[in-house]
């Protein structure tokens, strides 16, 4: 008989953000110099969003390498993770690299080349719903672990994205890139998730979308902000109904709130509206309550990183937990967190979690400050080259000839003529496990039907 799993949740978090960074003040100055008519729009956008900088990938990085890098960070910082027990590998993304093959499959191969021997006996899949894909992947893996009845089993859930918008638009300043990996298991060491009270709200809206074939998203900013706030209220009320909690008590009794953060000021604005609706608070009183609950600790760091799409919620969670650990030490155990995950188009998920008794031991190993110390100031020309991407196979090959790829790095080493992407892991001795260059199979475009 399978054993009964009492609690499932998150045991550790690994964060990876690519080094290149461009300061928004410099970016706006450059844009305005080229087109003075943009000054009012861009300055207002920076003020409304609260954003300070954009992190973007190196020329050898994409959504798949970001995911592999976050998983490697997770595994290396935690000697307690036994990768042989990983039963599920899931990726949440809205910027995948293939219409068919999931990012999780590419990441599994890269990790194996780097000596992290994930087993073949695991489920591997990708979830998409704009920025909520990572949360949906987390809920899926947590539910499968709870149903599986094998306490030793675990899962890895990665939220990995590259947020890209049209240049010279107000949305340009809300770009970003990065990945967050979660170790999910029963008897979690960091956060216990309450899967029985999850609140939902979904609707068919066009606040944000990315047409097939487009590398940039389309967004109606003010409308999307309204959709975010309205769905937050609806999902929160659904959570209250599921948990049998009065809405005013659910807000006041929660120790910390962590929300999807497409830009720094969005969660704050949404919470002001929710507190006004439920408690009748004005913006000033709400901000005072949020300050007591260390709300800014979650969202301030993302102003210096940018929009991580699916990863913005769990990145904010990690920054909040590290901040509270510094202040309270083991006193953070038992505190309640309410997580709100928004995906445009749209869906909102409200999830309650409790900080586990051993959380302080886990957080003590983190070095989230490395995300900022590893930043490399990029030139405007380098940023423009990325913004104009993605590069075609021939150009990618030429750029990689002169690329100085550091050791211990996952990289997109080549793009075949048929479009297939090939990944490697660099070491001090060169590329790991690199065999002969693979050619496009002769029968790849044949007429014989294949499964899948």
Quote the pLDDT of residue 2.
Answer: 54
The model carries a pTM of 0.94
| DSSP code of residue 276 | H
Quote the pLDDT of residue 1.
Answer: 46
Cβ atoms of 40 and 7 closer than 8 Å: no
**Cα(285)–Cα(289) distance, integer angstroms:** 6
Q: Domains in the chain, ordered, with CATH? A: 8-376 (3.40.47.10)
- Containing 421, the helix (H) or strand (E) segment is strand 421-427
Cβ atoms of 128 and 96 closer than 8 Å: yes
- Containing 155, the helix (H) or strand (E) segment is strand 154-163
Nearest to residue 93, comparing CAs of 165, 153, 162, 145? 162
Quote the pLDDT of residue 4.
Answer: 57
**Cα(107)–Cα(96) distance, integer angstroms:** 12
Quote the pLDDT of residue 105.
Answer: 98
Q: Which residues lie across from 126 on neighbouring strands? A: 91
- Phi, psi for residue 126 in degrees, rounded to 5: -125, 140
The CB-based long-range contact list for 422-429 (8 Å cut-off, 24+ gap) reads 423/64, 423/65, 423/68, 423/106, 423/109, 423/110, 423/113, 424/110, 424/113, 425/110, 425/113, 425/114
- Residues with Cβ within 8 Å of residue 146, at least 6 apart in sequence: 5, 8, 186, 195
Q: What SS3 state is found at 264?
A: coil
**Cα(14)–Cα(324) distance, integer angstroms:** 17
Walk along the chain (452 residues) and give the pLDDT tens digit of each residue.
Answer: 456 567 999 999 999 999 999 999 999 999 999 999 999 999 999 999 999 999 999 999 999 999 999 999 999 999 889 999 999 999 999 999 999 999 999 999 999 999 999 999 999 999 999 999 999 999 999 999 999 879 999 999 999 999 999 999 999 999 999 999 999 999 999 999 999 999 999 999 999 999 998 989 999 999 999 999 999 999 999 999 999 999 999 999 999 999 999 999 999 999 999 999 999 999 999 999 999 999 999 999 999 999 999 999 999 999 999 999 999 999 999 999 999 999 999 999 999 999 999 999 999 999 999 999 999 999 999 999 999 888 889 989 999 998 999 999 999 999 998 999 999 999 877 666 544 445 555 444 444 344 44
**Cα(452)–Cα(440) distance, integer angstroms:** 19
């Amino acid at each position: 008989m399978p054993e009964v799993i009492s609690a499932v949740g998150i045991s550790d978090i690994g964060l990876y953000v690519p080094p290149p960074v461009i300061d928004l003040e410099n970016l706006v100055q450059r844009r305005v110099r080229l087109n003075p008519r943009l000054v009012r729009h861009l300055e207002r956008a920076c003020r409304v969003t609260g954003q300070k900088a954009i992190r973007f990938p190196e020329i050898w990085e994409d959504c798949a390498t970001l995911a592999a890098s976050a998983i490697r960070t997770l595994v290396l910082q935690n000697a307690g993770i036994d990768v042989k027990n990983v039963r599920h590998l899931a990726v949440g993304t809205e910027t995948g690299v293939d219409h068919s093959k999931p990012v999780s499959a590419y990441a599994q191969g890269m990790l194996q080349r780097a000596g992290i021997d994930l087993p073949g006996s695991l489920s591997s899949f990708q979830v998409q719903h704009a920025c909520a894909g990572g949360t949906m992947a987390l809920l899926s893996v947590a539910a499968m672990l709870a149903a599986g009845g094998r306490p030793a089993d675990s899962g890895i859930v990665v939220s990995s994205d590259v947020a890209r918008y049209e240049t010279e638009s107000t949305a340009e300043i809300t770009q970003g890139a990065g990945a967050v990996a979660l170790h999910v298991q029963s008897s979690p060491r960091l956060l216990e998730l309450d899967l029985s009270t999850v609140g939902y709200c979904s609707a068919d809206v066009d606040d944000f979308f990315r047409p097939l074939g487009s590398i940039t998203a389309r967004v109606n900013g003010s409308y999307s902000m309204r959709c975010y706030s309205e769905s937050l209220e609806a999902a929160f009320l659904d959570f209250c109904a599921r948990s049998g909690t009065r809405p005013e008590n659910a807000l006041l009794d929660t120790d910390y709130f962590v929300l999807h953060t497409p830009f720094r000021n969005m969660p704050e604005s949404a919470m002001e509206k929710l507190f006004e609706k439920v408690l009748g608070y004005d913006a000033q009183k709400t901000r005072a309550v949020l300050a007591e609950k260390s709300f800014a600790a979650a969202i301030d760091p993302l102003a210096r990183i940018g929009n991580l799409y699916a990863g913005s919620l769990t990145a904010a969670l990690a920054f909040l937990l590290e901040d509270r650990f510094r202040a309270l030490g083991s006193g953070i155990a038992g505190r309640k967190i309410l997580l709100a995950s928004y995906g445009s188009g749209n869906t909102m998920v409200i999830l309650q979690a409790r900080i586990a008794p051993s959380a302080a031991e886990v957080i003590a190993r983190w070095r989230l400050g490395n995300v900022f110390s590893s930043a490399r100031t990029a030139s405007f020309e380098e940023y423009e080259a990325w913004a104009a991407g993605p590069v075609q196979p021939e150009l990618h090959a030429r750029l990689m000839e002169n690329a100085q790829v550091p050791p211990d790095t996952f990289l997109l080493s080549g793009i075949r003529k048929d479009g297939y992407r090939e990944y490697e892991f660099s070491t001090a001795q060169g590329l790991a496990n690199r065999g002969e260059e693979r050619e496009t199979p002769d029968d790849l475009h044949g007429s014989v039907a294949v499964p899948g």
